[in-house]
C-alpha cells in the first residue's frame, strides 16, 4: 500500500504485547498491524501461531498487556471491558470456522443476533427483519431455508448465515476465523464470492485468517503472521 | 430481547426442561396441598361447631368428647343421666340444652337421637341455621330426618322406609329389624358432619333400645311399633350420650364449665368446642409441621434438580455463549440469560404446581366430605402461602446464581473461543 499514509487506518495495532494468564511465554512481544477501511486482508499463519489471540485482542475480548489498539479513532486498549463489548457489538462482525449459529433459532433470528447488542448497529440496519432477509437472500439462502432451524441447514448454508450475521448493520470490520475450512472447494469458492460481494457492498474491511493460501489472490494484501513482530515462541 | 433468547433456548431443550419443571411443580404441589389442606380442614372443623357454647359428656379427654359428639369420630365411653340433662337445661345461664344419643347407624352413617330443638338450635359456618331441603321434622315416633349426603348417596326420598343397625360402623351384626323408620325430612347440605347423619327423636331412640340393656336384644322383650306409639308419652330415656348447651350470655361460659366439671351428683366434662379444637390442632400441629418441613425439603430437592439440569447444560452451551459474546453480548448479559431461564423454569413450576395442588384438592374433596364430613373448596392461597411461593421464585433465581457465576467466569476466560 503505497498511499497508506494518505488514508487514516481503520485498525492499527502498535507494539502489542500479550501473554495468556498463567503462561510464561508471550504470544505477542511487540506486534504491529494495520488495516485500512474497506481493505480485504489475508492473515496467513499455521494453527497455533496466535491467530485466535490476535482476533480476541482486536475483538476486545481480551486487553493487551502493553501496546496500542486504535480502531477508527478509538483506543480499544484504554476501554473498560463492558465498553469493549459495546464497541465489538457496534463495529465488528465475526465469522467462526464452524458452529456459528444458535441451533434453535431460524436463520433470520440468527442474523438478527448481529445487531441485537448494539442500538446504533440496529439503526444502521434499518428495517432489521427486512435487512436480515435481504442479506440471507444475497448470501444464497432460499425461502425454504428461512423456515428451518439453523441446525437443519447444511454446513455451507450455516456459514453463509454466519456471514449475513457478521454483515448486518454494516460493521467497519469483519473478522473471519478460517470460515472456509469446513467447506469443500466448490462451496468454499461460492462462499467467498458471496462474502466478498456483500463485504464490498457494506463497505466493511475484512480480516480473513486462514492457512489456505489458494485464496490469497482475492485479497488486497497478505500478511504472514510469522513476519509480524511476535513473541519468541508463539503458542 | 433476552427473554426471547431464554425462551428459545428452553424450548430447544423441551424434554429436559419439562422434566425439571415437572419436578419443581410436584414439590410445589405438595407444599401447597399440605398448607391448603391444613387450613381447609381446620376451617371445615371450625364451621361444624359454631353456636354451641358447651358440650357436656361423661369424663374423657376434651378432644375425644368433641370428636364423638360433633364429628362422629370415635365412641363415647359412658353416658350422662337424664336427671343431669334436666337439671342442666334448667340452669340459670342456660338458654337451651339439646341432648344427643349415639350408638346406632344406618349403612355406615351415624344415627343420632335428639330433640326437635336440635334443628332450631344448631348453627354451622358461623351462624347459619339448619334448613330442610325437603319435608319437615318428625311427626310420628318412627320418623327419621336425614342429612343431605345420606339422601344423595343412598338415594332416599321422603316416605322411604329404612332400618337402623345397632352399633356404629359399616358392618353391623344386629339390626333394629321390625322397627322401620320413615324418611320425613331431608336437611339442606351444610358441608359439616350433619350431612352424614340421620336424626331420630330421643323417644324413638329409646324405644328401639328397650330390651337391649345388655347390648343385645332380650328375646321377646322388644316393642312393636304399635306398642311403642301407644307408650310414647312414657318413652323417656335414662341417659343420653352428650348435651349441647347454648348460654344466655357467653360471659357465663367459663363459670358454668367450672360448675359442670365440679358437678356433685355425677362425674361430668364440659368443653368449649373452640378450645377443644385448639387442643386438637396442638396434637396434629407437630405432624403438620413435619409435613411442612418434608414439603419444604422436597421443594429444595426440586430446585437442586434444576441446578443440576442447568449445570449439566453449561458445557454443551459454551458454543452458544461464544456466539453471543462474538455478537457483543457482555458476560453479565449471558449470566442474566441463565438467571432468566432459571426464573422461567421456577415460574412455570410454581404455576403448574399450584394448578396441580388445586386439581388434587378438587379431586380429594368428595372423599374428604364422605369420610369426615368436611367440605373443602379450592380456596385462593392466603397471604402466607403467596409469600412462600414468591420466596420459592426468588430461591429459584438464587440457586441459579451458581451456574450464572460459572458462566460469567467462563465467558470471560473463553472469549469468542471455546477453550477446552
Contacts of B322 in chain A (CB under 8 A): 96
Residues sharing a CB contact under 8 Å with residue A154, sequence separation 6 or more, in sequence order: none
Residue A199 predicted with pLDDT over 90: yes
Contacts of A96 in chain B (CB under 8 A): 322-323, 326, 416
Positive or negative, the Cα torsion across B396, B397, B402, B407? positive
Q: What is the pLDDT of residue B128?
A: 86
Residue B417 predicted with pLDDT over 70: no
Q: Does B117 touch chain A (CB under 8 A)?
A: no
> How many whole angstroms separate alpha carbon A84 and alpha carbon A103?
27
| B12 contacts A104? CB cut-off 8 A | yes
Residue A135 predicted with pLDDT over 80: yes
Mean pLDDT of B370-393: 80
Distance, first Cα to last Cα, chain B: 29
Taking CA–CA distances from A176, the nearest residue in chain B reads: B326
CB nearest to B416's CB, from A94, A104, A105: A94
| A61 contacts B415? CB cut-off 8 A | yes
Contacts of B320 in chain A (CB under 8 A): 102
CB nearest to A62's CB, from B326, B328, B415: B415
Split at pLDDT 50, 70, 90, the class of A233 is very low
Q: What is the pLDDT of residue A49?
A: 76
Residue B96 predicted with pLDDT over 90: yes
Contacts of B328 in chain A (CB under 8 A): 85-86, 88-90, 92, 116-118
| B324 contacts A113? CB cut-off 8 A | yes
Q: Which residues in B217-239 are b (16+ Cβ under 10 Å) and which e?
A: beeeebbebeebeeeeeebebeb
Residue A1 predicted with pLDDT over 50: no
Residue B138 CA from chain centroid, whole number: 31
Q: What is the pLDDT of residue B27?
A: 93
> How many whole angstroms separate alpha carbon B320 and alpha carbon B108?
66
Q: Does B330 touch chain A (CB under 8 A)?
A: yes
> What are B39's three cell numbers?
387450613
Return the residue matching grid coordinates 455463549.
B321
- Residue B270 · residue B257 · CB < 8 Å: yes
| B320 contacts A102? CB cut-off 8 A | yes
> How many whole angstroms separate alpha carbon B253 and alpha carbon B245?
10
Q: Which tens digit of pLDDT belongs to each residue from B329-348? A: 888 999 999 999 999 999 99
- Residue B318 · residue B414 · CB < 8 Å: yes
Split at pLDDT 50, 70, 90, the class of A75 is very high
Mean pLDDT of B362-391: 79
Question: Secondary structure of chain A: what % helix, strand, coil (to 5)?
Answer: 40, 20, 40
Nearest to B121 by CA among B96, B102, B149, B146: B96
Residues sharing a CB contact under 8 Å with residue B387, sequence separation 6 or more, in sequence order: none
Q: Does B316 touch chain A (CB under 8 A)?
A: no
Contacts of B332 in chain A (CB under 8 A): 82
| B8 contacts A109? CB cut-off 8 A | yes
DSSP string, B295-362: HHHHHHHHHHHHHHHHHHHHHHTHHHHHHHHHTT--HHHHHHHHHHHHHHHHHHHHHHHHHHHHHHHH
Question: Rounded to the nearest 10 degrees, how much is the dihedral formed by the CA atoms of B49, B51, B54, B55?
Answer: -40
> How many whole angstroms separate alpha carbon A143 and alpha carbon B79?
89
Residue B153 predicted with pLDDT over 70: yes
CA angle B222, B226, B229 (to 5 degrees): 95
Mean pLDDT of A79-108: 90
- The three-class DSSP label of residue A190 is helix
> What are A72's three cell numbers?
477508527
Residues sharing a CB contact under 8 Å with residue B320, sequence separation 6 or more, in sequence order: A102, B9
Q: Does B12 touch chain A (CB under 8 A)?
A: yes
More confident residue, A175 or A181: A175
DSSP string, B31-95: HHHHHHHHHHHHHHHHHHSTT--EEEESSS-HHHHHIIIII--S--SS-EEHHHHHHHHHSTTEE
Strands B94-106 and B242-247: antiparallel
| A86 contacts B328? CB cut-off 8 A | yes
Nearest to B27 by CA among B393, B296, B287, B390: B296
- DSSP-assigned letter for residue A98: S
| Nearest chain B Cα distance for residue A56, angstroms | 7
Mean pLDDT of A48-68: 87
- φ/ψ of A117, rounded to 5, equals -100, 10
> How many whole angstroms separate alpha carbon B154 and alpha carbon B148?
10
Mean pLDDT of B379-389: 85
Q: What is the pLDDT of residue A235?
A: 41
Q: How far is CA B331 from CA A94, B55, B323, in A?
A: 17, 69, 12
| B327 contacts A113? CB cut-off 8 A | yes
Q: What is the pLDDT of residue B88?
A: 92
Taking CA–CA distances from B414, the nearest residue in chain A reads: A61
> How many whole angstroms separate alpha carbon B32 and alpha carbon B35?
5
Interface of A with B (CB under 8 A): 52, 55-56, 59, 61-62, 81-82, 85-86, 88-90, 92, 94, 96, 99-105, 109, 113-114, 116-118, 165
CB nearest to A99's CB, from B11, B319, B328: B319
Contacts of A114 in chain B (CB under 8 A): 327
| B326 contacts A59? CB cut-off 8 A | yes
Taking CA–CA distances from B323, the nearest residue in chain A reads: A100
Split at pLDDT 50, 70, 90, the class of B214 is low
- φ/ψ of A72, rounded to 5, equals 50, 45
Residue B386 predicted with pLDDT over 60: yes
More confident residue, A23 or B392: B392
> What are B86's three cell numbers?
334436666
| B330 contacts A94? CB cut-off 8 A | no
Residue B263 predicted with pLDDT over 60: yes
CB nearest to A61's CB, from B9, B325, B332: B325
Nearest to B314 by CA among B225, B197, B206, B405: B405
Computed over every residue of chain A, the mean pLDDT equals: 87
Q: What percent of chain B has pLDDT over 70?
A: 93
Contacts of A56 in chain B (CB under 8 A): 415-417
CB nearest to A56's CB, from B8, B323, B415: B415
Q: Which tens digit of pLDDT belongs to each residue from B26-79? A: 999 999 988 888 888 788 788 887 788 999 999 999 999 998 998 888 888 889
The least confident of A33-42, A50-59, A157-166, B194-203 is A50-59
Split at pLDDT 50, 70, 90, the class of A158 is very high
CATH architecture designation of domain A39-58+87-222: 3-Layer(aba) Sandwich (3.40)
- φ/ψ of B318, rounded to 5, equals -60, -35
- The residue extents of the domains of chain B are 2-45+284-414, 54-271
Split at pLDDT 50, 70, 90, the class of A232 is very low
- The three-class DSSP label of residue A26 is coil
Q: What is the pLDDT of residue B245?
A: 93
**How many Cβ atoms from other residues are within 10 Å of residue B90's Cβ?**
9
Taking CA–CA distances from A61, the nearest residue in chain B reads: B415
Amino acid at each position: 500500500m503505497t498511499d497508506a499514509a494518505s488514508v487514516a487506518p481503520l485498525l492499527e495495532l502498535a507494539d502489542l504485547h500479550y501473554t495468556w494468564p498463567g503462561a510464561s511465554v508471550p504470544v505477542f512481544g511487540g506486534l504491529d498491524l494495520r488495516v485500512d477501511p474497506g481493505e480485504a486482508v489475508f492473515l496467513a499463519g499455521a494453527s497455533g501461531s496466535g491467530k485466535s489471540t490476535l482476533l480476541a485482542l482486536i475483538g476486545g475480548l481480551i486487553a493487551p498487556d502493553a501496546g496500542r489498539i486504535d480502531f477508527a479513532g478509538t483506543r480499544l486498549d484504554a476501554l473498560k471491558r463492558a465498553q469493549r463489548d459495546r464497541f465489538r457489538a457496534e463495529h465488528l462482525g465475526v465469522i467462526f470456522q464452524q458452529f456459528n449459529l444458535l441451533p434453535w433459532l431460524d436463520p433470520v433470528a440468527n442474523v438478527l443476533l448481529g445487531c441485537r447488542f448494539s442500538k446504533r448497529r440496529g439503526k444502521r440496519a434499518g428495517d432489521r427483519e427486512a435487512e436480515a432477509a435481504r442479506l440471507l437472500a444475497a448470501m444464497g439462502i432460499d425461502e425454504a431455508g428461512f423456515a428451518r432451524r439453523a441446525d437443519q441447514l447444511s454446513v455451507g448454508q450455516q456459514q453463509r448465515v454466519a456471514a449475513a450475521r457478521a454483515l448486518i448493520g454494516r460493521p467497519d470490520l469483519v473478522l473471519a476465523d478460517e470460515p472456509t475450512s469446513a467447506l469443500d472447494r466448490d462451496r468454499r469458492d461460492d462462499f467467498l464470492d458471496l462474502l466478498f460481494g456483500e463485504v464490498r457492498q457494506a463497505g466493511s474491511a475484512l480480516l480473513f485468517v486462514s492457512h489456505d493460501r489458494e485464496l490469497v489472490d482475492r485479497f488486497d494484501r497478505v500478511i504472514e503472521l510469522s513476519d509480524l513482530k511476535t513473541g519468541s515462541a508463539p503458542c | 430481547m433476552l427473554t426471547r433468547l431464554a425462551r428459545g433456548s428452553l424450548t430447544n431443550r423441551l424434554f429436559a426442561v419439562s422434566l425439571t419443571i415437572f419436578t419443581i411443580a410436584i414439590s410445589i404441589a405438595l407444599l401447597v396441598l399440605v398448607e391448603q389442606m391444613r387450613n381447609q380442614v381446620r376451617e371445615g372443623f371450625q364451621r361444624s361447631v359454631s353456636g354451641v357454647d358447651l358440650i357436656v359428656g361423661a369424663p374423657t379427654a376434651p378432644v375425644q368428647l368433641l370428636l364423638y359428639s360433633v364429628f362422629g369420630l370415635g365412641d363415647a365411653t359412658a353416658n350422662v343421666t337424664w336427671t343431669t340433662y334436666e337439671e342442666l337445661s334448667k340452669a340459670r345461664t342456660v338458654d337451651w340444652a339439646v341432648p344427643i344419643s349415639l350408638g346406632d347407624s344406618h349403612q355406615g352413617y351415624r344415627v343420632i337421637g335428639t330433640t326437635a330443638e336440635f334443628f332450631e338450635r344448631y348453627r354451622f359456618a358461623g351462624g347459619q341455621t339448619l334448613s330442610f331441603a325437603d319435608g319437615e321434622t318428625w311427626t310420628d315416633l318412627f320418623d327419621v330426618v336425614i342429612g343431605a349426603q345420606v339422601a344423595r348417596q343412598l338415594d332416599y326420598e321422603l316416605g322411604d322406609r329404612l332400618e337402623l343397625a345397632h352399633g356404629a360402623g359399616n358392618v353391623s351384626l344386629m339390626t333394629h329389624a321390625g322397627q322401620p323408620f320413615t324418611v320425613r325430612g331431608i336437611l339442606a347440605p351444610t358441608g359439616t358432619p350433619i350431612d352424614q347423619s340421620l336424626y331420630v327423636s330421643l323417644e324413638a331412640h329409646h324405644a328401639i333400645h328397650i330390651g337391649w340393656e345388655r347390648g343385645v336384644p332380650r328375646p321377646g322383650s322388644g316393642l312393636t311399633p304399635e306398642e311403642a306409639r301407644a307408650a310414647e308419652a312414657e318413652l323417656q330415656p335414662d341417659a343420653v350420650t352428650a348435651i349441647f348447651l347454648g348460654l344466655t350470655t357467653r360471659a357465663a361460659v367459663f363459670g358454668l364449665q367450672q360448675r359442670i366439671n365440679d358437678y356433685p351428683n355425677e362425674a361430668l366434662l364440659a368443653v368449649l368446642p373452640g378450645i377443644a379444637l385448639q387442643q386438637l390442632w396442638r396434637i396434629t400441629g407437630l405432624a403438620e409441621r413435619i409435613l411442612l418441613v418434608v414439603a419444604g425439603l422436597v421443594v429444595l430437592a426440586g430446585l437442586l434438580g434444576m441446578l443440576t439440569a442447568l449445570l449439566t447444560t453449561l458445557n454443551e452451551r459454551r458454543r452458544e455463549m461464544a456466539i453471543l459474546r462474538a455478537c457483543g453480548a457482555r458476560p453479565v448479559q449471558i449470566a442474566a440469560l441463565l438467571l432468566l431461564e432459571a426464573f422461567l423454569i421456577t415460574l412455570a413450576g410454581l404455576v403448574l404446581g399450584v394448578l396441580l395442588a388445586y386439581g388434587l384438592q378438587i379431586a380429594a374433596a368428595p372423599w374428604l366430605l364422605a369420610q369426615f364430613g368436611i367440605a373443602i373448596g379450592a380456596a385462593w392461597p392466603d397471604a402466607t402461602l403467596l409469600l412462600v411461593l414468591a420466596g420459592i421464585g426468588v430461591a429459584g433465581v438464587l440457586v441459579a446464581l451458581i451456574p450464572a457465576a460459572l458462566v460469567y467466569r467462563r465467558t470471560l476466560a473463553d472469549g469468542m473461543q471455546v477453550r477446552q
